Structure 1
């Protein structure tokens, strides 16, 4: 089942996505105004059940960032061995993972353009799997970590590269330009470890494969991410963790291959879907 946030005829809904169109479910669940509220209430399975045997309500609609009201989005940086090697600093696998926050305003939805700002044109792509926490907790063990995941989605963790170098010890401003990245197209309920353990992530730019790796090669597997993050903060239902990107981002080519208007980026993971975005300059 695929659950998305979308807009049709000027109104925003959440609901199920089928091959024939969207099934609006939000009108029947007024107690949960957004998809974030559904996840926070532990009610995603109720949406799945409600969608069964229902007719399509919208055949024309636009996807939104899948959880546009998500208040906490945490990203894991440099999480594949080849990605670590790209830095050419001679470092081996670090003892602890790199983390930084992103805000919902920095993301758009599937089939919507990533926005390149006039201040800087080093807009880059990063294909990643994102997990949505369904059950909160503190000091969660790796053995129990998957029990805390409600759903999976995809992320293009778009970055303005020059702006991550504006200061000595931060990346926040380069990672949070409005609509520089995307999350979607939808949530896929998490039911089985194989959805993550065997997942292969592929990023294409204008049809050319730029990133291609499997999540089992992560330096910090998702179980470890949940364990580590929940050590210092209590994870809450609706939190999003963006789990890390493979080698092959545009900044690492010589010369760099930054995104420009007209480019199309596709991020694909079998069993989750394909997240597609064009690129436009800010108007």
Structure 2
């Protein structure tokens, strides 16, 4: 089954959003931007189905070689990431500790991400750029202390993330990972948003990361330590979630840091993150131009 796909992209001198087809993108922002300026407002107004009805029959306004993909939700209030959310990832730490009772969380800034088919940027401060393929949920209906039973009604859309990390910089201080997770354009989100319909889109789907065609990470969401329901319930306990908030839900085992010796990303590499029903998020690697 093919799900509708909504992307944010740059074309003809400005940022736009539209419906992605097989040949290109229908520019919905040109037609309906007065009602929904960006996909963030589309999410907040639960307007995906209305836009689908309106977009029926339109030919693409832009072909793929005419656009630059951007992160799907522009300027989200929060990007919250979950760490150590697959059983084998917990074992990778070799600290003898059982899986934690609550999710490990950290914050990323929008500037630390780029879009589909754009290069992840390796900074001059460190060669230790690593990949982490993850599934993204986007909050549609905000709330505080959301009960697990009600969580799925608060999810508007799904996407993919390569939660790229500068490994040695997550150990620059005593107990935080913020620095290594927030170098500009070291991660990616996209290619698009897939509207959330029902739990089958999340319950037991395959998540896979490939580097230069080699499978490095592969697992299923049914094996996550913390379910999507638990994640949203827990986060909403301490902060009010609002429409457009992005939650990055954790990566399987197999990141480059866990090889002996570690295998870091380098210019020329191609990283692909794929999940059932969500497509493929693809990025190359480039050194930062100073």
Q: Residue 106 of structure 1: which of 102, 112, 123 is its match?
A: 112
Matched, 1:269 2:272: no
Q: Residue 45 of structure 1: which of 25, 38, 49 is its match?
A: 49
Deviation at 1:12, TM superposition (A): 1.7
The residue that corresponds to 1:5 in the other structure is: 8
Q: Residue 241 of structure 2: which of 210, 215, 235 is its match?
A: 235
CA distance in 2 between partners of 1:31 and 1:204 (Å): 39
Q: 3-state SS of the aligned residue for 1:143?
A: helix
Residues 168-179 of structure 1: matches in 2 within 5 Å? 168-179=174-185
Per-residue Cα deviation, 1:49-69 (whole angstroms, up to 9, x for no partner): 222221111112121111231
Q: 3-state SS of the aligned residue for 2:85?
A: coil
The residue that corresponds to 1:36 in the other structure is: 40
Deviation at 1:44, TM superposition (A): 2.8
Q: 3-state SS of the aligned residue for 1:88?
A: coil
CA distance in 1 between partners of 2:277 and 2:267 (Å): 30
Deviates more, 1:169-178 or 1:58-67: 58-67
The residue that corresponds to 2:284 in the other structure is: 278
Q: Residue 166 of structure 2: which of 141, 160, 175 is its match?
A: 160
* Unpaired runs of at least 5, structure 2: none
Conserved in 2, the CA contact under 8 Å of 1:2 and 1:186?
yes
Conserved in 2, the CA contact under 8 Å of 1:154 and 1:275?
yes
Matched, 1:198 2:198: no
Q: 3-state SS of the aligned residue for 2:148?
A: coil
Residues 54-69 of structure 1: matches in 2 within 5 Å? 54-59=58-63, 60-69=66-75
Conserved in 2, the CA contact under 8 Å of 1:7 and 1:63?
yes
CA distance in 2 between partners of 1:243 and 1:142 (Å): 16
The residue that corresponds to 2:24 in the other structure is: 21
CA distance in 2 between partners of 1:50 and 1:272 (Å): 23
Conserved in 2, the CA contact under 8 Å of 1:154 and 1:272?
yes
CA distance in 2 between partners of 1:137 and 1:119 (Å): 39
Deviation at 1:38, TM superposition (A): 2.0
CA distance in 1 between partners of 2:55 and 2:260 (Å): 49
Deviates more, 1:227-236 or 1:150-159: 227-236
TM-score (structure 1 length as normaliser): 0.98
Q: Residue 129 of structure 1: which of 115, 127, 135 is its match?
A: 135
Conserved in 2, the CA contact under 8 Å of 1:42 and 1:237?
no
Conserved in 2, the CA contact under 8 Å of 1:34 and 1:69?
no
CA distance in 2 between partners of 1:106 and 1:170 (Å): 17
* Unpaired runs of at least 5, structure 1: none
Per-residue Cα deviation, 1:232-271 (whole angstroms, up to 9, x for no partner): 1111111110000000000011000110000000000010
